[in-house]
């Protein structure tokens, strides 16, 4: 029996939202999946109107603007509204209604100076505007909403939207050079693994802050090389340092520790490479490599 009757998933057509929606629907949850124009998290009035109409008993917020450069543009207030203000609006309503809020955050809240994986106890120290908005949203959501669960993750790959792994495959296929920094190390994470653990956490009634990523760590360069190997394409892999890869400052260490979910819930995440093999086998070949629409490589998010 599903634990909740009416689950509102915001951003359900995004990279993570695609997996969250599929996992919750497989677990027989009744889902409310609004179009952005019907439920814009930056529009307080509209959110209230929507909630009054649908009365969800759980909100899962998969919305976000994950393009780091877009967040960096000070003249564009949209990323700040979605990443920082939107979660606060949702936290306020969830508190008033007494319902749980699940919100997602990022390893970009850290400066990357630490030598090992970041834990939930490490204080945020963002070095770019995306990281700042995410860190401020985490703090606001956790302090405003007693039933909030904030799940931090890193470098997602999965079906539904362009991501770093799919971008590498597409670029190799159309013969474009693939820029990859060897000096930036991430916790590459499969959206379905993250969605399954998030659903388990929801069903356990977890609240507070948890890091959820696949095991192991890898540089963008080695990740790109492994994608090329798995899809069987040559690809022109160009090693570029972090400061060339992005105009916005990129933390060199984006690796998260999962010791807390292991300790509190006995969750053991599988290695990113095993998960990547599954993604390539089940989705990347058919979604990207067999697709006709391969000439335009969209920008991947973080």
Chain contacts with ligand NAP (rule: CB under 6 A): 10-11, 13-17, 36, 40-42, 62-66, 82, 86, 104, 106, 134, 153-156, 161, 301-302
Cα angle at 158 between 14 and 242, to 5 degrees?
90
Helix (H) or strand (E) holding 219: strand 218-219
Helix %, strand %, coil % of the chain (to 5): 45, 15, 40
Q: Which residue, 150, 136, 106, is CA-closest to 251? A: 106
Q: Which is nearer to ligand NAP, 80 or 235 (CB)?
A: 80
Shortest distance, CB of residue 154 to ligand NAP, whole angstroms?
A: 5
For residue 184, report the phi and psi dihedrals to the nearest 5 degrees.
Answer: -110, 120
Shortest distance, CB of residue 49 to ligand NAP, whole angstroms?
A: 14
Give the residue nearest to ligand NAP (CB): 14
Q: Which is nearer to ligand NAP, 18 or 172 (CB)?
A: 18
Q: Which is nearer to ligand NAP, 106 or 250 (CB)?
A: 106
Q: Classify 173 in phi/psi space as left (phi over 0), alpha (psi -120 to 50) or beta.
A: alpha
What's the full length of the chain, in residues? 302
Q: Which is nearer to ligand NAP, 13 or 114 (CB)?
A: 13
Q: Which is nearer to ligand NAP, 6 or 42 (CB)?
A: 42
* Contact status, residue 4 vs residue 32, Cβ threshold 8 Å: no
Q: Classify 235 in phi/psi space as left (phi over 0), alpha (psi -120 to 50) or beta.
A: left
For residue 186, report the phi and psi dihedrals to the nearest 5 degrees.
Answer: -125, 170
Helix (H) or strand (E) holding 103: strand 101-106
Q: Which is nearer to ligand NAP, 61 or 266 (CB)?
A: 61
Burial class of residue 205 in the structure, from the number of CB atoms within 10 Å of its CB (0-12 exposed, 13-18 middle, 19+ buried):
exposed
Q: Which is nearer to ligand NAP, 76 or 236 (CB)?
A: 76
* Contact status, residue 219 vs residue 182, Cβ threshold 8 Å: yes
């Amino acid at each position: 029996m599903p634990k909740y009757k009416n689950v509102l998933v915001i951003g359900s057509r995004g990279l993570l939202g695609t997996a969250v929606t599929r996992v919750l629907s497989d677990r027989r949850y009744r889902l409310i999946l609004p179009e952005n124009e019907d439920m814009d998290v930056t529009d307080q009035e509209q959110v209230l109107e929507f909630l009054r109409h649908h009365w969800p008993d759980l909100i899962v917020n998969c919305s976000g603007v994950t393009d780091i450069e877009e967040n960096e543009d000070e003249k564009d207030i949209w990323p700040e509204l979605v990443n920082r203000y939107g979660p606060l609006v949702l936290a306020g309503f969830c508190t008033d209604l007494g319902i749980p809020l699940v919100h997602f955050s990022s390893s970009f809240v850290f400066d990357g100076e630490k030598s090992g994986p970041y834990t939930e106890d490490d204080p945020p120290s963002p070095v770019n505007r995306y990281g700042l908005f995410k860190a401020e949203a985490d703090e606001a959501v956790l302090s405003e909403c007693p039933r909030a669960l904030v799940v931090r993750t890193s470098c997602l790959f999965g079906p539904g939207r362009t991501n770093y792994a799919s971008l590498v495959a597409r670029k190799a296929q159309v013969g474009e050079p693939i820029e990859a920094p060897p000096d930036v190390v991430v916790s590459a994470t499969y959206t379905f693994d993250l969605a399954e653990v998030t659903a388990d956490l929801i069903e356990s009634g977890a609240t507070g802050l948890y890091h959820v990523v696949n095991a192991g760590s890898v540089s963008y360069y080695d990740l790109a090389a492994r994608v090329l190997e798995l899809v069987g394409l040559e690809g022109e892999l160009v090693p570029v340092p972090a400061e060339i890869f992005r105009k916005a400052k990129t933390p060199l260490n984006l690796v998260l520790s999962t010791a807390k979910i292991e300790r509190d819930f006995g969750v053991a995440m599988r290695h990113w490479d095993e998960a990547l093999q599954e993604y390539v086998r089940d989705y990347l070949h058919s979604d990207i490599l067999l697709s006709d629409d391969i000439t335009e490589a969209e920008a991947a998010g973080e």
